[in-house]
């Protein structure tokens, strides 16, 4: 990200107002309900599957999927992971320096075209970086859930975050 003339590393701004959270804003136990939700369409599922070269017929062949235990096409799980992660950005990582990784990704229920999904995130840990002054690591646990409340996806994520007012290299 570019720096301003003053050398600060600005976060995204709207009409001069900072957006998103910084390291200082997170507290263990804090919960974010991400909004808005997203209804996944059949076109989303097929396009994502083809774009990512996932040719499994469960995602794009209705006749094949009808003979499966689900009786209809499933949404590609990599698509649900991408959408749920995207839902968290405004609250969790809009000002992140880096996404440090995911762990414990669990797919616990199927998602079908036409399902509307939502996400919520709990802050697990906030700590100063040992090697990067003015920065720290925020560890979160996110759940993706359907409009009926069924949780379909969980994961932990670590993000490298600046403190508010951080002046980077």
| Per-residue pLDDT tens over the stretch 90-136 | 999 999 999 999 999 999 999 999 999 999 999 999 999 999 999 99
Q: Indicate the pLDDT class of residue 167, thresholds 50, 70 and 90.
A: confident
> How far is the C-alpha of 63 from the C-alpha of 125, rounded, in Å?
46
Task: Supply the CATH number for residue 99's domain.
Answer: 3.10.129.10
Please report whether residue 1 resides in a domain.
no
Query: Which residues are CB-contacts of 28 (< 8 A; sequence separation ≥ 6)?
Result: 123, 124, 125, 126
Please report whether residue 154 resides in a domain.
yes
Domain span at residue 37?
23-162
Please report whether residue 18 resides in a domain.
no
Residue 169 has a pLDDT of 67
Please report whether residue 82 resides in a domain.
yes
Q: Indicate the pLDDT class of residue 7, thresholds 50, 70 and 90.
A: very low
What mean pLDDT do residues 146-153 have? 98
Please report whether residue 113 resides in a domain.
yes
Please report whether residue 147 resides in a domain.
yes
Nearest to 117 by CA among 168, 141, 164, 152: 152
Please report whether residue 7 resides in a domain.
no
Dihedral class, residue 24 (left if φ above 0, else alpha if ψ from -120 to 50, else beta): alpha
Per-residue tokens: 56: 């499994």
- Looking at the 3D structure of the chain, how many domains does it have? 1
Please report whether residue 16 resides in a domain.
no
């Amino acid at each position: 990200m570019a720096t301003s003339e003053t050398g600060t590393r600005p976060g995204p701004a709207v009409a001069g107002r900072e957006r998103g959270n910084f390291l200082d804003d997170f507290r263990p136990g804090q919960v974010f309900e991400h909004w808005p939700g997203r209804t996944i369409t059949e076109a989303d599922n097929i396009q994502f599957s083809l774009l990512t070269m996932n040719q499994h017929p469960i995602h794009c062949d209705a006749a094949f999927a009808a003979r499966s235990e689900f009786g209809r096409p499933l949404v590609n799980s990599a698509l649900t992971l991408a959408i749920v992660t995207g839902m968290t950005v405004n609250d969790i990582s809009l000002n992140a320096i880096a996404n440090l990784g995911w762990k414990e990704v669990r797919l616990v229920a199927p998602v079908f075209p036409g399902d509307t999904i939502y996400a919520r995130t709990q802050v697990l840990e906030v700590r100063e970086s040992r090697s990067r002054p003015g920065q720290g690591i925020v560890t979160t646990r996110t759940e993706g859930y359907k409009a009926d409340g069924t949780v379909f996806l969980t994961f932990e994520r670590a993000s490298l975050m600046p403190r508010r007012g951080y002046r980077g290299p």
